[in-house]
Structure 1
Amino acid sequence: MVNINIVPPLIFIAFSAFPLLVNYFLKRKYKRLIEKLHETEDDYYHQFIFVSFINFDCRQHLIDKRECGEHCSYNYQQTLVRFMASAKSSICLCMYTFSMRDINVELIKAHKRGASVRIIADQIMLKTDVAKHNLTFLKNSGVPLKVQPNNQSMMHHKFCLIDKEDRDSAKMFFGSMNLTTQGLVSNFDNVVLTNNSTMIQRFSEEFEELWANF
């Protein structure tokens, strides 16, 4: 038989301890969430490229193939070239227009070493001499490509997926900049380079949808 004299103290202790227990478990849960968040954050990187006033004098640096500092347009160009050159299995380039010769060279190199290279561009590629030359050069080299067929709209994306099928090496870049000299030295533009898997998955879905419908 329970001694009724000890029931009130037990109830008091229980009520007093309950908030402490709830607080303890909530803190543990919060700590685990923070640790998980940090693990997620540490799991990917991002790098930014911003083209601004300091790049407007860098045109000659692209010709001379020399950099004037960390934020030089030539340094930015080589960052993107190396990014593409690192592709092991695939490159999916979706770009409104592009005219960088070094980018073309890397696309063809990747194609020749057996990587799957696919390109989606806008009709503007067929209307300007430099872009049309690039398109023809890539097509004649056997690189699969598709051009946005609708005259009433633009394929205005600017992104590139590298090894998107391989979780360990998948990465991408995206932003406002076309892969052109003007984009590097004349416009206010940006590029973000990352291996964030969530972003890669979403952009991959967009690329495959466009590829299937163009």
Structure 2
Amino acid sequence: MTDEKESNDFLLVPALVGIVVLLLLKVFYDLYRKLTKSHHEVYFVMMGEPECCNPNDRNMNPGNNCRKYCMGKLLLKIMNRINGAKSSICVAMYNFSNHRLADCLLRAHRRGVKIRLVTDKSTCESGENKTQAKRLKDAGISVRISGEDDKLMHHKFCLIDGTSPKGVLITGSLNWTYGGLSKNCENVAFISNGRVQQFYREAFDHIWNKFSTPYYPRTSNV
């Protein structure tokens, strides 16, 4: 009887180990699927098409009658993504002059979203980029500048809720400027992919910590 019990116990151990291994494999597989799950949307602004919605018009309301590459639709997509942020927004933008996108960041900041903006030093010395950077800084948002001489901080991306499965990376050729959203031929990709978002988060942190300094505008020139 004792020998039979010991035999059963001996067989039970590998069975339990097998169950634990299977559970761990399931956990790692779910994590892998979570990190590699992707959703991509690419948006283009094409030149030579008739005007549809003027993105600089506060009353613009893109609808089903808009042309395929409507600039107003693109602005609204970016605004909606910012407005839906839950925890964090990291913006690396060479030139940032669009006040409507700045307004979205201010509203996100007021509802408790952690925001960091890094922009290029050369574009922040005058004009609307300086104005928007100062607005955000004065509201309590962390703003830094980067770039020097012939080395520009030429990135154009925004990472929203980067550590969340529902986060999104917005990147492409577009500067957040009036010209970029009303005159230029641009491309913007909206990417939801955990691994890609992680790469951009690491790159942003690298720029933020090593190659940027706090933004202190000359108030006399504003």
> TM exceeds 0.5?
yes
Normalised to the residue count of structure 2, the TM-score between the two structures is 0.72
The amino acid that maps onto 2:94 is: Y
Match runs of 1:166-177 below 5 Å: 166=164, 168-177=165-174
Give 1:66's match in structure 2, choosing from 57, 61, 70. Answer: 61
Contact kept, 8 Å, 1:50 with 1:191, in 2: the verdict is yes
Give yes or no for the alignment of 1:192 onto 2:197: no
The amino acid that maps onto 1:107 is: L
Contact kept, 8 Å, 1:55 with 1:73, in 2: the verdict is no
Deviation at 1:157, TM superposition (A): 0.3
The verdict on how the C-alpha distance between 1:61 and 1:163 changes in structure 2, with shifts beyond 3 A counting, is: closer
Give, in whole Å, the separation in 1 of the partners of 2:201 and 2:140: 22
Give, in whole Å, the separation in 1 of the partners of 2:139 and 2:35: 40
Deviation at 1:127, TM superposition (A): 3.0
The amino acid that maps onto 1:66 is: N
Give 2:40's match in structure 1, choosing from 34, 41, 46. Answer: 46
Contact kept, 8 Å, 2:45 with 2:186, in 1: the verdict is yes
Deviation at 1:40, TM superposition (A): 8.1
Give, in whole Å, the separation in 2 of the partners of 1:41 and 1:117: 23
Give, in whole Å, the separation in 1 of the partners of 2:55 and 2:201: 34
Deviation at 1:70, TM superposition (A): 4.2
- Please name the residue that 2:123 is paired with: 125
The verdict on how the C-alpha distance between 1:106 and 1:55 changes in structure 2, with shifts beyond 3 A counting, is: farther
Give, in whole Å, the separation in 2 of the partners of 1:55 and 1:90: 36
- Please name the residue that 1:148 is paired with: 146
Contact kept, 8 Å, 2:34 with 2:194, in 1: the verdict is no
Deviation at 1:41, TM superposition (A): 11
Contact kept, 8 Å, 1:97 with 1:124, in 2: the verdict is no
Contact kept, 8 Å, 1:55 with 1:72, in 2: the verdict is no
Equivalent pairs counted in the alignment come to: 176
The unaligned stretches of length 5 or more in structure 2 are 1-32, 213-222
The unaligned stretches of length 5 or more in structure 1 are 1-38
Give yes or no for the alignment of 1:100 onto 2:98: yes
Deviation at 1:121, TM superposition (A): 0.3
- Please name the residue that 2:10 is paired with: none
Q: Which moved more, 1:125-134 or 1:53-62?
A: 53-62
Contact kept, 8 Å, 2:121 with 2:147, in 1: the verdict is yes
State the identity as a percent. 29
User: Aligned-residue CA RMSD in angstroms?
Assistant: 2.3
Contact kept, 8 Å, 2:94 with 2:154, in 1: the verdict is yes
- Please name the residue that 1:36 is paired with: none
Contact kept, 8 Å, 2:117 with 2:143, in 1: the verdict is yes
Q: Alpha-carbon deviations, 1:117-136, whole Å to 9, x = none?
A: 00010013323311111011
Aligned partner of residue 181 in structure 2, secondary structure: helix
The verdict on how the C-alpha distance between 1:123 and 1:58 changes in structure 2, with shifts beyond 3 A counting, is: farther
Give, in whole Å, the separation in 2 of the partners of 1:162 and 1:182: 24
**Larger of the two Rg values belongs to structure:** 1
The verdict on how the C-alpha distance between 1:55 and 1:105 changes in structure 2, with shifts beyond 3 A counting, is: farther
The amino acid that maps onto 2:60 is: K
